[in-house]
Amino acid sequence: MENNHSSSNSSGSGVSVGDRLCHCGASVKLYTAYTKLNNGRRFLRCGGVQGQKCDFFEWVDPYMCAQAHSINPGLLVRVNHLDDENRRMETVIVPWRQK
Ligand SMILES: [Zn+2]
């Protein structure tokens, strides 16, 4: 049984998180959602025992408002652009320094 609010697009098998246990006694795993509404938002799910998982589900990261969703992609593009620029400047500056 799948939870409605859980993501079908999550990162693989999940990451173990310390010794936290699910209410069913299995270990809890950390996943990252890659849905349009919750891109990059992390959540916990039951890690299961012998393939038997219960329906435990809990968000780790807070809900991101629509404003954050509209701003984040733009910021990422700018950061990547500035990183490129930095690398380009390094190739110019480093030989100049060694003169
Ligand atoms: Zn469980």
pLDDT of amino acid 10 = 56
Ligand 1 centroid, distance to 65 Cα (angstroms): 29
pLDDT of amino acid 18 = 83
- Which residue type occupies 78? R
Query: Does one domain contain both 54 and 99?
Result: no
Query: Does one domain contain both 70 and 60?
Result: no
Query: Does one domain contain both 55 and 69?
Result: no
Query: Does one domain contain both 57 and 71?
Result: no
Distance of alpha carbon 99 from alpha carbon 89, whole angstroms:
16
pLDDT of amino acid 1 = 43
pLDDT of amino acid 47 = 92
Query: Does one domain contain both 58 and 76?
Result: no
**Secondary structure letter of residue 23 according to DSSP:** T
Domain that holds residue 80: 65-99
Ligand 1 centroid, distance to 18 Cα (angstroms): 15
Query: Does one domain contain both 6 and 46?
Result: yes
- Looking at the chain, list the stretches that DSSP marks H as alpha helix, in order from N- to C-terminal side: 66-97
Query: Does one domain contain both 17 and 59?
Result: yes
Query: Does one domain contain both 49 and 71?
Result: no
Query: Does one domain contain both 49 and 92?
Result: no
Query: Does one domain contain both 69 and 56?
Result: no
Number of domains into which the chain is organized: 2
Nearest CA to 8 among 51, 50, 43, 54? 43
Nearest CA to 13 among 24, 27, 29, 26? 29
Rg of the chain on CA atoms, in Å: 20
pLDDT of amino acid 39 = 82
Please list all protein residues whose beta carbon sits less than 5 angstroms from ligand 1, which is an ion: 22, 24, 26, 46, 54, 56
Q: What is the pTM of this model?
A: 0.59
Distance of alpha carbon 59 from alpha carbon 44, whole angstroms:
6
pLDDT (tens place) for every residue of the chain, 99 residues total: 444 444 444 546 788 888 889 999 999 999 999 887 888 899 999 999 888 899 999 999 998 888 887 888 889 899 999 999 999 998 888 777 776
